[in-house]
Structure 1
Amino acid sequence: MERRNFLRGAVFGTSAAVFGGTLMQGAAYAAPAQNGVSPYGGLLAADTNGIMLPSGFTSRVIARSSQTVPGTSYTWHGAPDGGACFADGTGWIYVSNSEISSTGGAGAVKFNSSGSITGAYRILSNTNRNCAGGATPWNTWLSCEEVSRGYVYETDPWGVKAAVRRDAMGRFKHEAAAADPVRKVIYLTEDESDGCFYRFIPTTWGDLSSGTLQVLVAGTAASGSFTWTNVPDPDGSPTYTRDQVSGAKIFNGGEGCHYAGDTVWFTTKGDGRVWQLNLLNSTYELAYDDSLVTNGTAPLTGVDNVTGSSSGDLFVAEDGGNMEICIITPDDIVAPFLRITGQSSSEICGPAFSPDGKRLYFSSQRGTSGSSSGGITYEVTGPFRTTA
């Protein structure tokens, strides 16, 4: 069994999600994933929605920015960004952030068991550039502000409970969050060229009102061991959180984050990397680096949001590149899964699987217009594999 196959085998099983120190003596590090043949095969010609997909897959448009969601009276938000799915009885809910300055927030679309839209509504309003975030095991959505000294807001996907600002999770240029129910922590990325990687330890698991913010400490190497150190002043004033701890490892533009099976992966857009933290032995390594592809042109560039499937595959969205969602398999193959055509001035955001793993949701943030008011949110349905 491949090492990553073992690590990715156990997917975060909740209804809220799909289910440089020096090199350590004696530790084994695998080479980053390489260009190869997708388990789904090559991409076919673009469909009527302009999406190139493998055989057996189909797409549909769920919502368009500035237009009412079909079958509802809710106007879909501009610049749709990070997202997640939540089980809702026999159906599910897809939540989506809005990366609009000052009025960003988040919205949601509700589906029944057959996938038909049954409702859409706002779950967070009047916040600033809500970029990515993450689902919690207790079925809330953490919506993160991608601004200097931004906040994390905990929201209700059903839109019943008021959103709550979680100050204890730190003030910095937040990007994504990923919950680890084993260690009972939340991992957090920071979208700065000299950003850090954090974890938040709630005083009580399931309650994010208080706790301890820590930063990952390691050397400058691309692999090695790491430790965690408390951030003395999580509110980041007057000193930014990333500048408070000597030895905190610098990451170039933290983006998406995903936890499964005692492993957390996160992307750094500034250097085209996917990082892997092996939590059982406190080591880190590169799962992918677009500059280290040795067998042809790197298929994945502009790494951004990331999610995972029950097969252990990672699905990484591109901001830039050629507008693809690429797959990284447990046996370290990277290949395109889909490509959006005719939208070169946009980026792909918010990939998330329905609770049954049969549908993948995502957005093109600026659509064909290249404007935040032209965002398009999609669903792709097909024979997603359940085992690697």
Structure 2
Amino acid sequence: MERRTLLRAAVVGGSSAALGGTLWRGAAFAAPAQPGSGPYGALGSPDANGIRLPAGFSSRVIARSGQTVTGTSYTWHNAPDGGACYPNGTGWIYVSNSEINPSGGASAVRFSSSGAITSAYRVLSGTRQNCAGGKTPWNTWLSCEEVDRGFVHETDPWGTNAAVQRPAMGRFKHEAAAADPVRQVVYLTEDETNGRFYRFVPTSWGDLSAGTLQVLVAGSATSGTFSWANVPDPDGSPTSTRTQVSGSKSFNGGEGCHYADDTVWFTTKGDNRVWQLNLTANTYELAYDDSLVSGGTAPLTGVDNITGSDSGDLFVAEDGGTMEICVITPADVVAPFLRVDGQSGSEITGPAFSPDGTRLYFSSQRGTSGSSSGGITYEVTGPFRS
């Protein structure tokens, strides 16, 4: 607890290391990405877990829904979804949402410095359809409810402090969140066919109990300039938050969201796009659009959760598609990084890197069974570039 208190104090005080020490480089992304040779090479044959990986990489199963996590007495939740990693002394913690309704919530797995599982436990209960979310610079987990007038719940990955509902962050069909320590705001996506892109401006950075919810205002084009406008009633009743501000830009099914290096990326599943906002220039454009791929078949469809690595690469998970996690490089190349075989009735969720960047965690939400009770959470280890 003392370690986290010190970290929180450093972040709230304006530390530039607010994202856990990760320094992003080369985040150019100047045009919609096109297929090409990825930085890790071609995918190999399926391994024992049915995962196709580039040479030098390996996978292991961390947890299965309805079964006890190896080495613990804790039963892993159904329908694992969004996730994030947190430093824990010489080890780390991976937090994962449960996208079921009712019950939902989130669980965590704790790892030693060698990657051995040391414990697993519940961190959030009594919520509904917890889909994605986001990590705060003060090392809490924002677990988002993907239901009408859903809440954001600020959750303790250590499972020590009780989770807290954050109604000031708006009540709508929440999907993902991404914290921006430079502008001291949290970006939020909305999973509706006419959803909006929001930011929450806390009254005091590090305290999400009060603040102003704003919505992005822009034209109908796929690139241009944008501004922010206050949402008059974040409670969203009787008028939904997405229809309160004239001129706010509609996005088709907001999903994952990721911030780094004065840029925020978010995905929209309805049109298979990855959007990027240049936060210093207040401009927006497409980082990827499957309908703008030149020649051949688009390598990335069903865009969903998104995260990034120390190298500046984006890793985008597919909901459907060919069950891949694809990489989008700063050179605007998109290529498969991994593929899960034999699980076409599922989706890939919760990609997140360990604090040292050497391990990637993710889940297949419905596994081989196609049911929420068949979820599988994996770890991939290998020579990720830094």
TM-score range for the pair, normalised by the shorter chain length: over 0.9
1:213-238 alpha-carbon deviations (Å, 9 max, x no partner): 00000000000000000000000000
- Distance in 2, matches of 1:102 and 1:236, equals 21
Contact 1:16/1:85 (<8 A) preserved: no
Alignment TM-score, normalising by the size of structure 1? 0.93
The alpha carbon displacement at 1:13 in A equals: 5.1
Aligned partner letter, 2:58: T
Percent identity for Structure 1 against Structure 2: 77
The equivalent of 1:89 in structure 2 is 89
2:87 aligned counterpart, secondary structure: strand
Alignment TM-score, normalising by the size of structure 2? 0.94
**Alpha-carbon spacing, 1:175–1:18, altered in 2? closer, same or farther (3 Å):** farther
1:246-277 alpha-carbon deviations (Å, 9 max, x no partner): 00000000000000000000000000000000
The alpha carbon displacement at 1:29 in A equals: 9.3
Aligned partner letter, 2:342: G
The alpha carbon displacement at 1:202 in A equals: 0.3
The equivalent of 2:362 in structure 1 is 362
In the TM superposition, 1:193-272 aligns within 5 A as: 193-272=193-272
Structure 2 residue corresponding to 1:14, chosen from 7, 19, 23: 19
- Distance in 1, matches of 2:295 and 2:61, equals 35
The equivalent of 2:106 in structure 1 is 106
1:304 aligned counterpart, secondary structure: strand
The root-mean-square deviation of aligned C-alpha atoms, in Å, is 1.4
- Distance in 2, matches of 1:130 and 1:64, equals 18
The equivalent of 1:141 in structure 2 is 141
Aligned partner letter, 1:192: E
Aligned partner letter, 2:47: D
Aligned partner letter, 1:75: T
The equivalent of 1:324 in structure 2 is 324
Gap runs ≥5 in structure 1: 1-10, 20-27
Deviating beyond 4 angstroms after TM superposition, the runs of 4 or more aligned structure 1 residues are 16-19
Aligned partner letter, 1:187: Y
Contact 1:18/1:85 (<8 A) preserved: no
Contact 1:16/1:86 (<8 A) preserved: no
The equivalent of 2:166 in structure 1 is 166
The equivalent of 1:129 in structure 2 is 129
**Alpha-carbon spacing, 1:139–1:35, altered in 2? closer, same or farther (3 Å):** same
In the TM superposition, 1:39-58 aligns within 5 A as: 39-58=39-58
The alpha carbon displacement at 1:15 in A equals: 3.0
Contact 1:140/1:155 (<8 A) preserved: yes
Gap runs ≥5 in structure 2: 1-15
The equivalent of 2:295 in structure 1 is 295
Contact 1:80/1:377 (<8 A) preserved: yes
The equivalent of 1:22 in structure 2 is none
Residues paired across the two proteins, number: 368
The equivalent of 1:34 in structure 2 is 34
- Distance in 2, matches of 1:360 and 1:66, equals 22
The equivalent of 2:347 in structure 1 is 347
1:291 aligned counterpart, secondary structure: helix
Contact 1:315/1:327 (<8 A) preserved: yes
1:143-177 alpha-carbon deviations (Å, 9 max, x no partner): 00000100000000000000000010000000000
The alpha carbon displacement at 1:336 in A equals: 0.1
The alpha carbon displacement at 1:295 in A equals: 2.8
Contact 1:16/1:135 (<8 A) preserved: no
Aligned partner letter, 1:188: L
2:373 aligned counterpart, secondary structure: helix
The equivalent of 1:24 in structure 2 is none
